[in-house]
Amino acid sequence: MAERVNVYIADIQYYMDETHFTEGLSHISKERRETIGRLRAHKDKVRSLCCGLLLHYGLHDLGYTGSESWETAYGEKGKPTFPDYPDVCFNLSHSGDYVACAIAKAPVGIDIQNERKTIPGMNRAVCPEDDLDVLYGTEEERHLHILESFSAKEAYLKYTGMGMSLGFSNVHVDRKAGTACMADGSGGAFLQRIEVPDRTDYRVYVCFSRLFSVYTKIPHNNLIHEKFSSNE
């Protein structure tokens, strides 16, 4: 039987308002507030806030009450974990106006990407030179193919816990088959692409070690209210 990965996706616009942003700060950990304090751009602060709120929203939705006080630890490459709750694995991502969170009972990776111009050198780093979709597609097709590959590989890198230290060139993904692995064939995992409702300009990929089904929930704007009402 396929295991379940719970995915939550939220729009950050509600918390761009200073009043809502300030209210949100009182519902996240001291550690995340300190992280937010080191950020310069307001939108970066809001994305970080919403990542924290969405994580606790998801945990409450799954019945893990009191999760705001859970201590977070970080792996060698920066992947966050709950050391006191090893059976609760999560991963966070943000891009543009959205944040995403995946929660499962085994290591999981998630990446959300907003369509944007590819940065110089990205094509070669993400896609192998013999990738026919890149060589012979139209400019728009090549652009979308690169973004899809970027998001899928990023999800795999985050799933492994290695992050960007591993490098895109060391990862192979087959989006049609829904699989990912190291370039040498080791470390195989499964991928799924998720749609953001009414936003075709976003790509979301989830990576998990086994065949899995995805439960997706799109909370309303006010994550604080939703978080505490979800178990009523």
* Each residue's pLDDT tens digit, 137-174: 787 887 788 889 999 999 999 999 987 777 888 899 99
Is 194 part of any domain? yes
Q: What is the chain's alpha carbon radius of gyration, rounded to the nearest angstrom?
A: 18
Is 232 part of any domain? no
**Backbone torsion region of residue 146, taken as left when φ is above 0, otherwise alpha when ψ lies between -120 and 50, otherwise beta:** alpha
Q: Please report the beta strands in 32-131, taking only residues with DSSP state E, as ranges in sequence order.
A: 73-74, 80-81, 89-95, 98-104, 108-114
Is 229 part of any domain? no
Q: Taking the CB of residue 205, how many other CB atoms lie within 10 A of it?
A: 30
**CATH at residue 83:** 3.90.470.20
pLDDT at 128: 67
Q: What CA–CA distance (Å, rounded) separates 222 from 123?
A: 38
Provide the residue range defining the domain that includes 95. 3-219
Is 224 part of any domain? no
Which residues, given as ranges, of the chain have pLDDT below 70? Answer: 1, 68, 117-125, 128-136, 225-232
Task: Provide the domain count of the chain.
Answer: 1
Is 19 part of any domain? yes
- Look at the block and give the residue holding tokens 């694995």: 89
Is 104 part of any domain? yes
Whole-number average pLDDT of the chain:
87
Q: What CA–CA distance (Å, rounded) separates 156 from 110?
A: 8
Cβ contact 88:103 at 8 Å: yes
pLDDT at 129: 54
pLDDT at 134: 62
231's tokens: 């178990």
Q: What CA–CA distance (Å, rounded) separates 206 from 178?
A: 10
Is 230 part of any domain? no
Is 128 part of any domain? yes
pLDDT at 66: 74
